[in-house]
Amino acid sequence: MAYVGYHLVQNNTKLTVLCLTNNQIGNEGIQYLSDALEDNETLNVVSLGKNHITAEGVYYLSNALQYNKTLTTLYLSDNPFGNKGALYLSNVLQSSTALTTLWINNNHIGIEGAQYLSNALKTNTTLMILFLHNNHIQSQGAQYLSDALQNNKEFKIMALNTKSTTNTPNSIKFLISGLASMGATLFVHPMDLVKNRMQISGEGGGVKEYRTSYHALTTIFRKEGFRGIYSGLSAGLFRQATYATTRLGIYQILLERFRDQDGRPPSIFVNLLLGVVSGGLGSLIGTPAELALIRMTLDGRLPMNERRNYAHVFDALARITREEGILKLWRGAIPTVTRAMIVNAAQMPSYSQAKQLIMSMDLMQQGLPLHAVSSLIAALITTIVSLPIDIVKTRYQNMKIIQGKPEYTGILDVFQRIFRQEGVLSFWKGFTPYFYRIGPHTILSFIFIEQLNIQYQRRICKNESYMSTL
């Protein structure tokens, strides 16, 4: 279609109106059209709504139209070009000597984009009508535009709605976080079990039980059956209901509080601090469930006479309290909280920053592919950073009492023994199952959170556009 449009414009000296709305032209097609428009001296109206044009396409278009002397009306609504596209459009507004009407409804333009447009409008002498419905310019962006047009006597109409998009309430953020994390756990629990078993395998320099993650999974399935690979599921779900609900809920609330006015995430340093705080608080609440999960997933590898045989997570919590004391529910709290702070500081900011970077480069826009790629990046970073802490925590929480004395004297003792007896690379033992667990769990959790938020904002809040909470 764009190729046809190119020849139509290039060879026609009488064409005054070109309407190519809703044809999925894209940036490449706009590049063709821009080449033709650059020398055109007859077109008055160009309509290119709903064509998947991003900032790159607007860049091509702006170069072609910057000094056009005949175009009076430009329709670019429903194209996701955002603030960067608004910047390129401002170049057209600054130099055009004919443009009187501009339609840019629903283009993901925020406060920053409104500021670009307002700077251009201060010197523009031709524009009379501007449509800016369903963008994220908010009241501050509207004020920028209003101030810019104060002394423009030719301007007639500026149509925009400044109603802020209703964000998901805090209580719903917590609910969605818990449901998303628990849903992801249903898929990845077997890999969590394999990860825990492999981290204990070869403990103290002993013989390793499993050669690979696949060997571990097939061995457990053969010896313990389907129920065996899902042993400890109730503890896993309870852990997500406490730890994940708290950390993700708190992080989203803090992120909204510290976002820039144009909706971008805060600086990487501030984002890291938000991750540390939310991860630490969530982990402190979730440590008892974490302890029960570790014990229940590792119980199947013990000799029959040494197994604890917890019936479910609440049985585990009750027996630990009764047999060892209530404070033992927080055994390993220091490495657990430390790990959670590191995990959250790596996972949450890397997701939001990766997502923002990808969108700013016009590689992807809000949607499932963007969420999947961003969460995969976050998962890889998190795995590398947090696995050593996770291994130390697992060993410490699973330690037994031998002849009335604990197996380890403390966290430092666990660390020193692993380093001395098994070598430095043992801190990344179980990397594959750990990544296989964190990767899918991170991807599914973020996708579920985004999708549940989308549905809530559309169906309950009646928003016309989606405001991500991550």
User: pLDDT tens for residues 73-120?
Assistant: 999 998 888 888 888 999 888 888 888 899 898 887 877 888 888 888
Question: In this structure, are 297 and 361 located in the same domain?
Answer: yes
Question: In this structure, are 89 and 178 located in the same domain?
Answer: no
Please indicate, yes or no, if residue 308 is contained in any of the structural domains: yes
CATH (domain of 122): 3.80.10.10
The bridge status of strand 405-406 relative to strand 401-402 is antiparallel
- Taking only the tens place, the pLDDT of each residue in 161-184 is 654 556 788 999 999 999 999 999
Average per-residue pLDDT for the chain: 83
What pLDDT score does 175 carry?
94
Question: In this structure, are 140 and 209 located in the same domain?
Answer: no
What pLDDT score does 181 carry?
93
Please indicate, yes or no, if residue 132 is contained in any of the structural domains: yes
The bridge status of strand 73-75 relative to strand 45-47 is parallel
How large is the average pLDDT for residues 427-452? 85
Please indicate, yes or no, if residue 255 is contained in any of the structural domains: yes
- Please say which residue of 136, 159, 182 terminates a domain: 159
How sure is the predictor about 335, in pLDDT bands with cuts at 50, 70 and 90? confident
Question: CA 40, CA 13: separation in Å to the nearest integer?
Answer: 8
Residue 281, pLDDT above cutoff 90: yes
How large is the average pLDDT for residues 225-233? 85
What pLDDT score does 5 carry?
52
Question: In this structure, are 177 and 130 located in the same domain?
Answer: no
Question: In this structure, are 279 and 179 located in the same domain?
Answer: yes
Return the higher-pLDDT residue of 349 and 305. 349
How sure is the predictor about 351, in pLDDT bands with cuts at 50, 70 and 90? very high
How large is the average pLDDT for residues 329-343? 85
Question: In this structure, are 384 and 432 located in the same domain?
Answer: yes
Residue 130, pLDDT above cutoff 80: yes
Question: CA 114, CA 137: separation in Å to the nearest integer?
Answer: 6
Q: Report residue 41 as tokens.
A: 């001296």
Question: In this structure, are 307 and 424 located in the same domain?
Answer: yes
Question: CA 82, CA 113: separation in Å to the nearest integer?
Answer: 7
Question: CA 256, CA 265: separation in Å to the nearest integer?
Answer: 8
What pLDDT score does 429 carry?
80
- Taking only the tens place, the pLDDT of each residue in 373-403 is 999 999 888 888 888 887 887 788 777 777 7
Instruction: Report the greatest alpha carbon distance in the chain.
Output: 98
Residue 37, pLDDT above cutoff 90: no
Question: In this structure, are 139 and 174 located in the same domain?
Answer: no
Domain count within the chain = 2
Please indicate, yes or no, if residue 12 is contained in any of the structural domains: yes
Percentage of the chain beyond pLDDT 70 is 91
What pLDDT score does 362 carry?
67
Question: CA 369, CA 359: separation in Å to the nearest integer?
Answer: 11
Question: In this structure, are 147 and 180 located in the same domain?
Answer: no
pTM beyond 0.75: no
What pLDDT score does 186 carry?
92
Return the higher-pLDDT residue of 12 and 424. 424
Neighbours of 307 (CB within 10 A): 12
Percentage of the chain beyond pLDDT 90 is 14
Residue 250, pLDDT above cutoff 90: yes
Residue 467, pLDDT above cutoff 80: no
Please indicate, yes or no, if residue 116 is contained in any of the structural domains: yes
- Taking only the tens place, the pLDDT of each residue in 133-159 is 888 777 777 888 888 877 777 777 777
Please indicate, yes or no, if residue 22 is contained in any of the structural domains: yes
Q: Report residue 313 as tokens.
A: 């997570």
How large is the average pLDDT for residues 36-52? 83
Phi and psi at residue 70, to the nearest 5° = -120, -25
Question: In this structure, are 107 and 216 located in the same domain?
Answer: no
- Please say which residue of 114, 134, 159 terminates a domain: 159
CATH (domain of 333): 1.50.40.10
- Please say which residue of 132, 159, 186 terminates a domain: 159
Question: In this structure, are 141 and 230 located in the same domain?
Answer: no
Residue 221, pLDDT above cutoff 70: yes
Question: In this structure, are 127 and 201 located in the same domain?
Answer: no
Please indicate, yes or no, if residue 165 is contained in any of the structural domains: no
What pLDDT score does 228 carry?
84
What pLDDT score does 203 carry?
60
Please indicate, yes or no, if residue 164 is contained in any of the structural domains: no
Q: Domain containing 373: what range?
A: 170-465
Q: Which range, of 141-155, 217-231, 238-252, 271-285, averages the lowest pLDDT?
A: 141-155
